[in-house]
A and B are shown apart, each in its own frame.
Chain A
Amino acid sequence: MATHQYLGGQPDEALDRVDGRQKVTGAAKYSVDDILPGLTYAVLVESTIAKGHIKKIDTKKAQSAPGVLAIIYHGNAPAIPGYETGGNPAKPPTGGEPFRVFQNTQIYFAGQPIAIVIADTYERAIYAATLVETEYNKDDQRTDIEGNKDKAVVPKGPRYADYIRGEADAYKNSVIKIEAEYIIPVEVHNPMELHATTAFWDGEDKVTVFDKTQGVKSTQRSIMDAFKLKEQNVQVNTDFVGGGFGSGLRTWPHVIAAVLAAKKINKPVKLVLTRPQMFTMVGYRPYSWQKISLGATRDGVLTGLTHEAISETSTYEEFTDRTVDISKVMYACPNVNTRYKIVALDKSTPTWMRGPGEATGAYALECAIDELSYAVNLDPLELRIRNHADVDPVRNLPWSSKYLKECYQKGAEAIGWNKRNPKPNSMQEGEWQLGYGMGAGNFNANRGRATVKATLLADGSLVLQSAVSDSGPGTATTMTSIASNVFGLSPGKITFELGDSSLPPGPTQGGSTTTSTLGSAVHDVCVALQQKMAELVTIQGSLLQGAKPENLHFEKGYITLKTDASKKVAYADVVKQTGSSQLEVTKDSQAGDERNKYSIYSFAVHFVQVQVHRLTGVVRIKKVVTVADAGKIINEKTAASQLMGGVVSGIGMALMEDAVMDHRFGRYVNNNLADYHVPVSADVPDIKALFIDKPDPFINPIGSKGLGEIANVGFAAAVANAVYHATGKRIRTLPITPDKLLR
């Protein structure tokens, strides 16, 4: 369990991170660290072919290598009861069955774990793993989506059926037509911390696991299901997460492998994936081909929008994301239709990666909108305003709140949009061509379910607990801010505990929902605790006896009478009054029916200024302004960090990220951080992260919508559009690298 307490003084506005000191001093323990004494170390052996069967695995040499404790593979793997009964240990995204580790000889993808070697040191385990000899019956693999698009199918389930509003393919009959195809290659989350799992068993039916996960409760559930264990007998801990970006949303086969290995040798086992394994074992943003067709009047009013997408999945599971959904809701267009298909390839299953389908879809849509702006000779900002969706065009419901136009205005001012000469390739600075671009996006602002326990201690301090994990945004800090404001207590007296599956159930951290979901539960539990305190101070013989609860005021650790501030009772005294050492309230909190009345979305716009070198094709991002309508901003510092982080991942997406597979082998050729490029500090310019900061009146009691995803949705398009403005070259395949600009 990670205990987070604010250590600073009373802040003016935004709290510093409650875990900042632990993180910068090295006190924070991550799953990848050696957490327990007496560890043994496991290393996964991977398939070197992409399709076929294992003919033979010879472990003799490896087994006799120094320090080796055990080797598990399909030939000797202990039973995993949940696998055998058709259970579903790692809940698949939509269809198919998750890959079951060490259960049979079939090879689905290169880099598939086929054996696990456990030794007394990591070095010995990794050496022994090189001695495992495998023979295969190899089949020809299919890993390239290009050339296999004819095998694309519509995913199962009504959600993926073709969508039609008004007339299909109406763009064909429009005065102005834009048709363009866009490609995003495979992108890999590559958080700095490698995925890691440490497991140890206490007897036959009780296991403790330290895992890098974005959801401690979902990992607990997966392990319970796989090994048929009771909830109280599976303990999952995730104190700190060194980045996830979606890779920690599922319980992957390596987690089950580590738990299995610990069971086999009955000692604590630590498994850390290698960087190349991060490319094949914990998901990726799937390669996507998209086509956007737009029809419009000469005034730039949209008359038809068709969005088609083909994406990839594995042969054993259907992975889908909402690639085409953004085109349904982003603009007011009477005729919209979408087609979404997936191709099964001999690769591992993709997963959600920051901004998932929306970021993928917004890249294509927002580039196409930009292309349309030139076709109708209109400022791209004005074009977007002309087609602004005043209501949700899919459900025909009012937005709960929408300040996208305000975002446009604020961002345009901050970047100096009016300095932009609308003509492409018109703004030179020596050999550098200057360009401005924009891209917008939205993301469904959800609220899930969470339980928080609040304990008021005899010294007047407050402890809050929930089984959420914090993959980086600063969850405990945000929750401390909310509790401080709602409960009326200095943040220094509040502790937030998380990352422990035995705590009251918290949500998985994904889909930009943690603040909305957990923050609402924190709000609700603080209010409930105040109600309980109100009962106590008004009933029993206290100074406030007889006062009506609604006349009480909670601030800075004291309850006072609204009408008479001199009558006050310290929170600590309320606890003492009960005769016990603490006062506890647990509250379960979830959304009501507001979603039936309103469409609830977050919105953002990104403005970028780029320079492109005419001779070398190098793109430099000089300035970024991102403005978000994410409802009430709880903590400006952590929120700005979220936006900046999203922008940095957007810079990667726009300019460098590209997991290259050699399809002759079905294997990645740049599966390391030297060759798979993510932005370095020198690539990241001044980023202005701005907020509208107006509470959403309907989503939840705190007025906050989601932020993590919209920080990336639409960003890559803004860069691509700026590059077009700078050069007159439309690059429709990401990333925009020098070679593409020189063609």
Chain B
Amino acid sequence: MINFDYVRVSTIKAAVDAIVKDNNSLWLAGGTNLVDLMKKGVMTPQKLVDINNLPLKEIKKEGNKLIIGALALNSTVADNELVRKEQPLLALAVQAGASAQLRNMATVGGNMMQRTRCPYFYNTDMPCNKREPGTGCGALKGFNRMHAIFTDTEKCIAVHPSDMSVGLVALDATVLLSGPRGDRRIPFQNFHRLPGNLPQKDNTLERGELIVAVEIPENKLNKHVHYLKVRDRTSYAFALVSAAVAVDLEGSTIKDIRLALGGVAHKPWRLTEVENFLKGKAATEVNYKQAAALAIRGAKGFGLNNFKLKLAPNTLVEALKTATGKS
């Protein structure tokens, strides 16, 4: 690991100032991903600004919104009574991520900020447009079994690895930011981005903008939920494909619904069009299959990940069936 400076701050302002002042500095929260990346030489900050002392750990209800502090631990979120009662989909998604040990360290903000696990990104001797723009995408014609089937470019076909974010994007969350130019709110759906011409950029944060909290509006989607993560082993493995499903059922009619997929794109993949298709329809396997077919319109395989074209719709159908008890 390359030597670096380390400072600890205890206010949001100090945290933002420290980063703005020093272009080659990064915030450190749980460190479960950043420290690995530094060991591998993938990220080489000269300074780490430890934000763990910031008062951003609280999970609370404000009006009809659930506010989760950016430094709340993943394990805390998954176990929190409010979350489990009001937004159980989020608890399930967080629970599906990583391992118990990692969830005990990782924070909500850090989880959103984690980098792709694409092997070409991790190996500094191999080409990767995300790590080193212009060197090419190693995965495009290489080992792309884990990679995206939805992308706007062939410059990068990496996927975002977070499970939590798949739950949050489905739940219409909003990200609360604090930066050098004040506070800002962005819809979770606009937080992560597709690679486009800037595959090095995972999200839409401006330099110096700190995630302070995520906010989830109240909904009636807490009775019929499921997070199905298909992976190569039962725990501690990234998703081949995952599906987040939350349904408001009236009898057997779908009154409202939220759907998102993980492991298929550079960002958590919200399925708004599919939701609209299912709204008002009966909760039947026939409808789910049609919805699933709609869900992968425009998807494309790159060889080893072609199976996702089948796995993604299947996973969605299975998650829908489990959520609505139609299995």
Contact = CB atoms under 8 A, between A and B. Distances in A.
Interface of A: 48, 123, 126-127, 130, 430-431, 613, 615-618, 620, 655-656, 660, 662, 664-665, 667, 669-670, 674-675, 677, 679-683, 737-739, 742-743
A583 to B, nearest CB: 52
Given A616-B230, A664-B142, A739-B145, A680 B311 contact: no
A674 B230 contact: no
Given A616-B315, A675-B117, A742-B311, A669 B142 contact: yes
B327 A430 contact: yes
B64 interface: no
Interface in B2-17: 2-3
A525 B142 CA distance: 59
Nearest to B243: A616
Given A127-B3, A615-B314, A739-B311, A677 B233 contact: yes
B233 A739 contact: no
A662 B307 contact: no
Given A680-B235, A743-B307, 11 more contacts: A130-B41, A431-B327, A615-B315, A615-B317, A660-B143, A664-B142, A669-B120, A675-B119, A677-B237, A682-B234, A739-B304
B275 to A, nearest CB: 21
9 contacts: A127-B1, A130-B41, A615-B315, A660-B143, A662-B143, A669-B142, A674-B236, A682-B234, A682-B235
B4 to A, nearest CB: 11
A670 to B, nearest CB: 6
Contacts of B315: 615-616
B208 to A, nearest CB: 29
Given A127-B1, A617-B311, A669-B142, A656 B327 contact: no
Interface string B181-203: 00000000000000000000000
B62 interface: no
Contacts, number: 88
Interface in B271-327: 304, 307, 310-311, 314-315, 317-318, 321, 327
Interface of B: 1-3, 41, 99, 117, 119-120, 123, 125-126, 138, 141-143, 145, 228, 230, 232-238, 240, 304, 307, 310-311, 314-315, 317-318, 321, 327
Contacts of B310: 742
A123 B1 contact: yes
Contacts of A667: 123, 125-126
Nearest to B240: A738
Contacts of A743: 307
Contact of B307 (A677, A681, A738): A738
B232 A737 contact: yes
Contacts of A48: 125
A618 B123 CA distance: 29
B254 to A, nearest CB: 20
A655 B234 CA distance: 11
A737 to B, nearest CB: 6
B318 A616 contact: yes
Q: Nearest 9 A-B pairs (CB), nearest first?
A: A682-B234, A739-B307, A669-B119, A615-B314, A616-B230, A48-B125, A669-B143, A615-B318, A682-B235
A43 to B, nearest CB: 11
B126 A665 contact: yes
Nearest to A743: B307
Contacts of A682: 233-235
Contact of A680 (B120, B236, B321): B236
A85 to B, nearest CB: 36
A127 B117 contact: no
A97 B128 CA distance: 37
A681 B100 CA distance: 12
Contact of B233 (A126, A670, A680): A680
Contacts of A739: 145, 240, 304, 307, 311
A675 B310 CA distance: 22
A738 B314 CA distance: 12
Which residue, of A613, A664, A742, has the highest number of chain B Cβ atoms within 10 A?
A742
Contacts of A670: 119, 143
